[in-house]
Structure 1
Amino acid sequence: MEFPGVYIEDVGLLAPGTLRLTDKSISFKGDKGGKSVTIQSADIQRLKWQKLGNKPGLRVGTTDGGLHRFGGFKDADMEKIQEFTESSYSKRIDPSPLFIKGWSYGQAEVKGKSIEFSWEEKPLFEIPCTNVSNVTANKNEAVLEFHQNDDSQISLMEMRFHMPTDPDNEDDVDQVEEFKKAVLAYAGLEAETEQPICLLTDILCTTPRGRYDIKVYPTSIALHGKTYDYKIPIKSINRLFLVPHKDGRSVFFVLSLNPPIRQGQTRYSYLIFDFPKDEEQEMELALTDEQLDAANGSLDRKMDGPIYKTVSALFKNICNLKVTEPGRFIGSSGTPAIQCSHRQNPGLLYPLEKGFLFIHKPAMYIRFEDISSCHLARSDGGTVTRTVDFEVDLKSGAPIIFNAMEKEENNKLFDYLNKKNIKVRNPNKVETRAESSDDEIDPYKAAVKAEGRSKDDSDDESTDEDYDLDQDLKRKAKEKDSSEGSASEPDDEYDSGSEQDSSGTGESEPDSEEDVPKKKKEKVEKKEGKGKKGKKDKDPNAPKRASSAYFHWFTANRLSLKEEGDSVADVAKKAGQKWKTMTAEEKKEWEAKAEKDKARYESEMKEYKKSGGGASSKSSKPSSSSSSKKSSGPSSSKAISKEYISDSDDSDEEPKKKEKKSAPKEEEEEESDDSEAGSDGSDESEDSD
């Protein structure tokens, strides 16, 4: 049977949860990590139907004197629970109505582990002895102080019982003192005069900060510092943690407290002790034989070895709790700890088997069952960031953010969340970020280069619309290979006033740009608006270089990434971020294209070099100069352009042209061959450039 919406009394707070009844036990699990209780069927002594919080409730008494009260039922639920308990536990539920008449007098008795106040054997109220924090006995009055629950809006702070002297009491028994002893027996309180189990001196405590002497009693621990003293009941300790520091030199022993201890207005829900890892100490424990037998060999009267192991074993047996240690998670530093910050306070985050432990300002433990999702994102710090923000979204709606986490922890933490089946809001994004490293290419820089390269290509295309120098040189090379000579070459654009001979030889025209003086060439290029400062001409026969996988992807997706108003840098930045968010599977297509393009480039480069590309320019230059030296007459003027000659006063180019026209055909062919040799050298040099 299961009853959701039921609540349990927890130090003055009605904590909601779900009650489940089975053949073997009665279990209660609190909502949002609240109190949880499990009562075995063999330990159930009595059951009562009694109101709690003005609603019907179930009161369960155990064989050890314990008392558990559950409320929030409906009146019709009693019959269902009655049938189940009689068949499963052989226990009948007895109705026990509370006597509420406003009386302030009655009889106070300690029954089991609770204080019952009744009138004429009718109960008025009852209080568990474990809720009592202190008892003071005066002449005829007992003063009870109670533990506080921070989640409770209204708390019971103090209660006073006046016990008048009974004149018929012949034994002269102090009722107040007897009442105090009975409450202390079940409240888990000892006097300071009693002998502690052990004494730990000068222990470093990071929360609350300071050095304390610690006295460990069977039911409480006392901390004595230079300024403050604390007394903590063992029953208020609900979790124990033992985790190593990231530096490997110390170990944290953490006690989770509910209710927390107070220092003024500050509450401490965790006690954090810092023990040196290599410090060893011999310790003698004041334990009885029964207590040693109950420890099942984990404790001895004399304990030696590392002090943190001795203290953790002692608290494990006294508190009857499991000590939680790091699981299989190992961070990039080789330890279970992740360096990060919370609200600008640096600390260490420990991913454990069932939750996250953060030490230490403020110390917190986040259970997996309270987490709705997680989110990993780059920290805001410019284009190059080396830290990550880890955001934990709780089911209660309040997110917890850990900042300044090293980027290398991404992959480790992402795999850990997947193994624990914790929802991650951006799995692809996180995974790619986790795989990234400092050695990879900077996508922002690469994108800017790609944008600049595309601009250069577009500029070249716009220039070629007026005059394509590469194409012209290529055409000349083809004419040379076909042995057709340079007779069909047209005048260059900058050769103003050039006249083509009627014979069509055109020997007076320059064969390449190298034949034009540099100063004149720069002047003409500026005039035409075609030249760029420091820009070299490309070899049209040279194969196109291979592009990387990123450039292939960027070229295909640049227009889809660009939005209205985006600059080149904006598009490049978006592309870089998008490339990092892609998984290895998504990049596979573009990497295959890059490999194919690389193979193409290598193959074409081999063919290009075999045909004399690249290296031919060095050998062609001497031949050009030698041919110009050998040639005489008209051939020696080939290095000077027509425009340059027209500016000089002593040019005799025209008579030389007329002499050429009347020359025999064989001489024309020889001269043509010499001129081709000179022009070929310039063409090959130009191709090489």
Structure 2
Amino acid sequence: MESFENIYLDFSKQPGKSRFAETGLGWKPMGGGDTFTLDRTNIGPSQWSRAARGYEVKVYSRNLGVIQMDGFQQEDYDRLAKCFRLWYGVNLEQKEHALRGWNWGKGDFGKEELAFNVRNQPAFELPYSEISNTNLAGKNEVAIEFSLPADGDETGTNGHLGGARARGKKAGGATDQLVEMRFYIPGTVSQKEKKEDGEDVTDGENEEHNAATIFYQMLMDKAEIGEVAGDTFATFLEVLHLTPRGRFDIDMYEKSFRLRGKTYDYKIQYESIKRFFLLPKPDDMHQLITIGLDPPLRQGQTRYPFLVMQFKREEEVSIDLNMTDEDLRNKYQDKLQSHYEAPIATVISRIFHGLTGRKIVQPSKDFISHHQQSGIKCSIKANEGHLFCMDKSLMFVPKPATYISLDNIQNIVMSRVGGAVSASRTFDITITLKGGGEHQFSNINREEQKGLEAFCRAKGIRTKNEVDDDGSALMKAALAEEEFASSEDEVVQAARGSADEDDESVDEDFQADSDSDPAEEYDSAHESSGGGSDEEMADANGDADADADADSDREAAVERPKKKTKTGK
């Protein structure tokens, strides 16, 4: 037996003790925990290379992927090489890494990892088990997303998920974690056509394919992102997603589900699902399924913490799960049924509930809108959507999907933006959070105010109503506007003196219907008196005498100022 101290397994945060014996190898953390062992029959090709904490032994196991042990000293090589050669029948190959610092090279797909080689030397390797998703980010660009731990303390060597080493958790051992990498792959490659049985077609020329597409397809197969990730329990085709926008096929597996679209494919672990909502849309035609994810779904630089799916209420589906009765009883304790026949939104939500164990949250019975619905129409900035009131939270969908816990709400202020009379039909609410920050929902129908106030009282949330406080002022403004419209002549006269003595004509010199050229103001034919047009209008209406008496009364009450002579320009 050979023993080595201060060895790190799969980038673990804590060192341990590594032992090599004729029956196999093992590793035990110094601080206590589960022990990892590997039988000699499972040990495949192995490498010795320089690494972060000294020197590393990398073992390509036959069914457990890549196993990395870091922290050896340079003089330990001879002892280890002898152990591998005599006990395991494996040559411990010394591997030199490329140190040129180039960012261009060649991708080499191995059995357990993707190697990026620079001048036939590996610059870095990416184990397939650490790749959670890959997408075509452009015509010649492939994006690779890496698995993330559920929390900061979880690594591949602390006993989580049933052992000292867990698949896809190596990133948890580092302080900083690489979450995405992109490869630019230009040009095209030749690929032979294949028959249905897999043999190459001998006749004909080789087809040219985009190199990035071929790289993407090979990575999908090697990293088991897709249908090869196990048996599919259920599949739903062409499901409309509002966030991210598009139609995706949903494949449900034992520990994850996959969204397959025309451009993007996503593989999402059930561990990432933190919340699950089934929301009836207020149009009486659709239902929404909203899934909260942590870590969020990533599409390039865009993050989607919520998936929003839309279904027709009347669309029913009949499906049989690809499970045995024994699995239904033992693994899922009758949380799932072998056969479902119900509306599609109900079926999908029940299957998700059985596979993930997450509670299906639905709108609270304490709130009913004015139109007898569970949601109310409103807006976040320029985005229209619906706000749903749950027993413990508020949820706005579809974009941007916003979740607010009732326990995190400090107060809610109901107010009205703008002072126009038309604004009295709607109001806004501003939700202030206890930890700082706020959310504003605008353009809410005035009829929903009483229902929201009653819901807030039932949940013990402090509210301030500024809508009714300024309601009286708006009513006074409206009445003043009506009085202004009914007595416009008197108001204008008070503001302009005797300028409004004329009933209809404001500019006495303007004659729109005259066939002759109008007289200029400085012309001798110009009349300085302003009563001509009034008298003609009065004669046309047959009320000349009455208007003349009214004019004389006004002239007696108000001294007529001398009319100013206009100057032509």
Normalising by structure 1, we get a TM-score of 0.42
The Cα of 1:525 is off from its aligned counterpart by 4.0
Q: Per the alignment, do residues 281 and 122 of structure 1 end up closer, same or farther by CA in structure 2, a change over 3 Å counting?
A: closer
Q: Is the 8 A contact 1:214 1:223 kept in 2?
A: yes
1:299 to partner: Cα distance: 2.6
Structure 2 counterpart SS, 1:324: coil
Pair 170,138 (structure 1): closer, same or farther in 2 beyond 3 Å: closer
Q: Which has the larger radius of gyration?
A: 1
Matches within 5 A, 1:529-540: 529=557
For the pair 1:425 / 2:464, whether they are aligned, the reply is yes
Q: What do residues 242-297 of structure 1 show as CA deviations (whole Å, max 9, x unaligned)?
A: 00112111111111001111110001101111111111111111234354236565
The amino acid across from 1:379 in the alignment is V
Rate the CA distance shift 1:138–1:246 in 2: closer, same or farther, 3 A.
Answer: farther
Deviation, structure 1 residue 172: 8.1
1:340 to 1:125, Cα distance in 2 relative to 1, 3 A: farther
Contact 2:272 2:293 in 1 (8 A): yes
CA positional deviation for 1:123: 3.5
The answer to whether structure 1 residue 389 and structure 2 residue 422 are counterparts is no
The residue that corresponds to 1:360 in the other structure is: 398
How many angstroms apart in 2 are the aligned matches of 1:244 and 1:331? 13
Q: CA deviation at 1:323?
A: 0.3
In structure 1, what residue type is equivalent to 2:440? Answer: I
Alignment partner, residue 241 of structure 2: 205
Change (3 A) 1:391 1:291: farther
Match of 2:9 in 1: 108
The one-letter code sitting in structure 2 at the alignment partner of 1:315 is F
* Residue in 2 that maps onto 1:648: none
Q: Secondary structure at the match of 2:16?
A: strand
Contact 1:410 1:430 in 2 (8 A): no
Indicate conservation of the 8 Å contact 1:115/1:126, yes or no: no
Tell me what 1:287 maps to.
323
What SS is found at the alignment partner of 1:315? Answer: helix
Deviations 1:576-633, CA, capped at 9 Å, x for gaps: xxxxxxxxxxxxxxxxxxxxxxxxxxxxxxxxxxxxxxxxxxxxxxxxxxxxxxxxxx
Superposed CA deviations along residues 491-533 of structure 1, whole A, max 9, x for unmatched, are xxxxxxxxxxxxxxxxxxxxxxxxxx989976874465299xx
Task: Kindly provide the CA deviation profile for residues 523-562 of structure 1, in whole angstroms up to 9, marking residues without a partner as x.
Answer: 874465299xxxxxxxxxxxxxxxxxxxxxxxxxxxxxxx
Letter of the 2:231 counterpart: Q
Aligned counterpart in structure 2 of residue 161 of structure 1, from 68, 71, 88: 68
2:416 corresponding residue in structure 1: 378
Would the alpha carbon gap of residues 160 and 263 (structure 1) be closer, same or farther in structure 2, given more than 3 Å must change?
farther
* Partner residue, 2:274: 238
Give 1:229 deviation, angstroms.
Answer: 0.8
Q: Against the structure 1 CA distance between its residues 400 and 520, is the aligned structure 2 distance closer, same or farther, given a 3 Å change threshold?
A: closer
- What is the letter of the counterpart of residue 407 of structure 1? R
Distance (whole Å) between structure 1 residues aligned to residue 247 and residue 288 of structure 2:
14
Distance 1:173 1:287 in 2: 44
Counterpart AA for 1:169: W
- C-alpha change, 1:345 and 1:236, in structure 2 (3 Å) is same
1:438-517 to structure 2, matched below 5 A, reads 442-447=475-480
The alpha-carbon distance between structure 1 residues 315 and 449, as it changes in their structure 2 partners (threshold 3 A), is closer
Distance change (3 Å), C-alpha of 1:210 and 1:522:
closer
Matches within 5 A, 1:498-647: 525-526=553-554, 528-529=556-557
**In 2, distance between residues paired with 1:232 and 1:357?**
22
Distance 2:29 2:380 in 1: 50
- Whole-Å Cα distance in 1 between the matches of residues 314 and 7 of structure 2? 60
Q: Which of 327, 333, 338 is matched with 1:301 structurally?
A: 338
Distance 1:237 1:433, change over 3 A: farther
Task: Name the residue aligned to 2:197.
Answer: none
5+ residue gaps, structure 2: 19-26, 36-42, 49-65, 71-79, 93-110, 113-126, 131-155, 169-222, 491-544, 560-569
Paired residue total: 334
SS at match of 1:444: helix
Residue 384 of structure 1: CA displacement? Answer: 2.3
The counterpart of 1:411, out of the listed 433, 450, 454, is 450
Q: Share of identical aligned residues, percent?
A: 28
1:217 to 1:321, Cα distance in 2 relative to 1, 3 A: same
Letter in 1 for 2:444: M
Tell me what 2:144 maps to: none
CA distance in 2, matches of 1:406, 1:213: 37
| Equivalent in 246, 249, 252 of residue 288 of structure 2 | 252
Q: Which runs of 5+ in 1 are unaligned?
A: 1-102, 130-136, 143-158, 457-516, 532-689
Aligned counterpart, 1:123? 29
Paired residues of 1:340 and 1:346 also in contact (CA < 8 A):
yes
> What amino acid does structure 2 have at the position aligned with 1:409?
E
Q: Which of 390-399 and 377-386 deviates more? A: 377-386
Contact 1:116 1:126 in 2 (8 A): no
Structure 1 pair 227/124, CA: closer, same or farther in 2 (3 Å)?
farther
1 CA distance for matches of 2:304 and 2:32?
29
Residues 15-70 of structure 1: per-residue CA shift (max 9 Å, x gap): xxxxxxxxxxxxxxxxxxxxxxxxxxxxxxxxxxxxxxxxxxxxxxxxxxxxxxxx
Contact 1:204 1:212 in 2 (8 A): yes
- Provide the C-alpha distance between the structure 2 equivalents of 1:518 and 1:431, rounded to a whole number of angstroms: 49
Whole-angstrom CA distance in 1 between matches of 2:67 and 2:552: 110
- The alpha-carbon distance between structure 1 residues 524 and 284, as it changes in their structure 2 partners (threshold 3 A), is closer
2:232 — aligned with what? 196
How far apart, CA to CA, are the structure 2 residues paired with 1:368 and 1:343? 22
Given that 1:282 and 1:302 are in contact with CA atoms closer than 8 Å, whether structure 2 keeps it comes out as yes
Contact kept? 1:410, 1:433, Cα under 8 Å: no
- Conservation of the 8 A alpha-carbon contact between 2:10 and 2:68: no
- Residue 326 (structure 1) aligned with residue 227 (structure 2): no
TM-score in terms of structure 2 length: 0.50
In structure 2, the partner of 1:335 is 373
What is the distance in 2 between the residues matched to 1:263 and 1:304?
A: 34
* Deviates further, 234-243 or 409-418: 409-418
Give the Cα separation in 1 of the matches to 2:391 and 2:336. 26
3-state secondary structure, aligned to 1:353: coil
Indicate the SS of the match to 2:352: helix
Partner Cα separation in structure 1 for residue 547 and residue 262 of structure 2: 90
User: Shift of residue 422 of structure 1?
Assistant: 0.8
Name the CA shift for 1:353/1:448 in 2 (closer, same or farther; >3 Å): same
The offset of 1:126, in angstroms, is 9.5
1:140 aligns with 2:46: yes
User: Higher strand proportion, which one?
Assistant: 2
Counterpart code for 2:236:
L
Q: Could you tell me which residue of structure 1 aligns to residue 500 of structure 2?
A: none
Question: Retained in 1: the 8 A contact 2:255–2:269?
Answer: yes
CA 1:161–1:326 in 2, change beyond 3 Å: closer, same or farther?
A: same
Cα displacement (A) at 1:433? 8.2
Match of 1:75 in 2: none
